[in-house]
């Protein structure tokens, strides 16, 4: 079988790359590991425009956000499902200093346009004695629906990629029954075992999220108070996320479950029941910037998207294709 591209990985990076290749009428075969829960599958998929304790705008936000919305809308039309749901985030003030910091930053033109309004009225079931602030340009990607739609394609093979079967001959890439002009690795944390890119400066972290059932909790916003509470359906919410840099595995831990439950109790006084729990490894790079490049003439990389993957993946995929080397 002759194709233009082989894609290794079908998380955020791989799916966005496949969609851009489809738009440009390139042919491809993608591989996804069916035995591992990816960071994309476990993620809440939230886009947040402001980050960090210093309350700065997310890196490349002004360019990446409108491009991400257009890409996910195009992808949703192709798959016939709704993928991105706009939903305001309410940052809950945790202290007078926290509130004052937001007020000071809200006068800055760099982020002022991302702020909708102050929230002073109580929200159903939410503990917020100091109020909060509502942000614009926010929402979440339904990552599970995106992955299910993507891997149902005949162009995706659900099998572990075997590097022993990968060969290069006369500027062509040969793998099993496939001959391709290019191969792009979008393999997330699996890249630590990838002989082409295992020297990348990864700083992997384990993240865990719980799903809870909670009646009467306000569901018109994503709530954020150190951790997020994301409404996903009637009385169901995702709560997260944790960060752990040791003992990295995909197994949900009792410690994280208890920690997230305790964090939720700081946001609501309402009773809740934990109905699900996920854990996965984030492919984060030490400087928190993604790696998007052609490693050699016909070997590309998109990796290290970290917690901003939903925002950055579409633009990173476009940039890789825009800089396609001649072959």
Percent of the chain with pLDDT over 90: 72
Residues contacting residue 214 through CB under 8 Å, at least 6 positions apart: 125, 235, 237, 268, 270, 271, 272, 273
For residue 51, what pLDDT band results from cuts at 50, 70 and 90? confident
Sign of the CA dihedral running 107, 110, 115, 119: negative
Domains 1-88+141-201+288-327 and 90-135+205-282 share a fold: no
Indicate the CATH number for domain 1-88+141-201+288-327: 3.50.50.60
Q: What is the pLDDT of residues 95-112, one digit of tens each?
A: 999 999 998 888 888 888
Q: What is the pLDDT of residue 114?
A: 93
Encoded tokens for 136: 């614009």
Q: What distance in Å separates the CA atoms of residue 2 and residue 241, rounded to the nearest whole number? A: 42
Give the mean pLDDT of the chain. 92
Residue 250 has pLDDT above 90, yes or no: no
Which tokens go with 98?
């926290």
Q: What predicted TM-score, i.e. pTM, was given to this entire model?
A: 0.93
CB 130 within 8 A of CB 99: yes
What is the tens place of the pLDDT at every residue in 222-246?
999 999 999 999 999 999 999 888 8
CATH architecture of 90-135+205-282: 2-Layer Sandwich (3.30)
Mean pLDDT of 283-304: 89
**Run of H or E residues at 205:** strand 205-213
Span 147-200, pLDDT tens digits:
999 988 889 999 999 999 999 998 899 999 999 999 999 998 888 888 887 777
| Domain extent listing, the chain | 1-88+141-201+288-327, 90-135+205-282
Contact 173, 181 (CB under 8 A): yes
> How far apart are alpha carbons 207 and 248 in whole angstroms?
9
49 falls in which pLDDT band (50, 70, 90)?
Answer: very high
Task: Tell me the pLDDT tens digit for each residue of 123-149.
Answer: 999 999 999 999 999 999 999 999 999
């Amino acid at each position: 079988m002759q194709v233009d591209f082989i894609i290794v990985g079908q998380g955020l990076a791989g799916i966005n790359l496949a969609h851009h290749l489809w738009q440009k009428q390139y042919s491809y075969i993608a591989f996804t590991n069916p035995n591992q829960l990816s960071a994309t599958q476990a993620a809440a998929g939230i886009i947040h425009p402001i980050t960090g304790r210093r309350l700065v705008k997310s890196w490349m936000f002004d360019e990446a956000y409108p491009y991400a919305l257009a890409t996910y809308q195009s992808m949703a039309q192709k798959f016939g499902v709704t993928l991105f749901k706009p939903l305001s985030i309410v940052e809950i003030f945790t202290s007078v200093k926290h509130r004052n910091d937001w007020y000071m930053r809200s006068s800055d033109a760099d982020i002022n346009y991302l702020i909708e309004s102050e929230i002073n009225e109580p929200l159903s079931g939410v503990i917020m004695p100091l109020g909060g602030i509502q942000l614009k340009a926010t929402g979440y990607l339904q990552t599970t629906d995106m992955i299910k739609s993507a891997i149902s394609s005949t162009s995706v093979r659900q099998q572990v990629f075997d590097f022993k079967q990968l060969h290069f001959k006369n500027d062509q890439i040969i793998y099993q029954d496939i001959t391709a002009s290019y191969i792009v690795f979008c393999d997330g944390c699996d890249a630590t075992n990838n002989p082409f890119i295992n020297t990348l400066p990864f700083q992997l972290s384990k993240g865990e999220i719980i799903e809870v059932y909670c009646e009467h909790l306000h569901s018109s916003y994503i709530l954020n108070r150190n951790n997020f509470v994301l409404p996903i359906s009637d009385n169901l919410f995702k709560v997260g996320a944790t960060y752990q840099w040791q003992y990295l595995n995909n197994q949900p831990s009792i410690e994280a479950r208890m920690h997230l439950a305790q964090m939720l109790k700081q946001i609501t006084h309402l009773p809740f029941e934990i109905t699900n729990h996920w854990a996965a490894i984030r492919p984060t790079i030490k400087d928190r910037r993604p790696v998007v490049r052609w490693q050699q003439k016909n070997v590309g990389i998109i990796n290290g998207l970290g917690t901003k993957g939903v925002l950055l993946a579409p633009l990173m995929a476009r940039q890789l294709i825009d800089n396609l080397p001649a072959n």
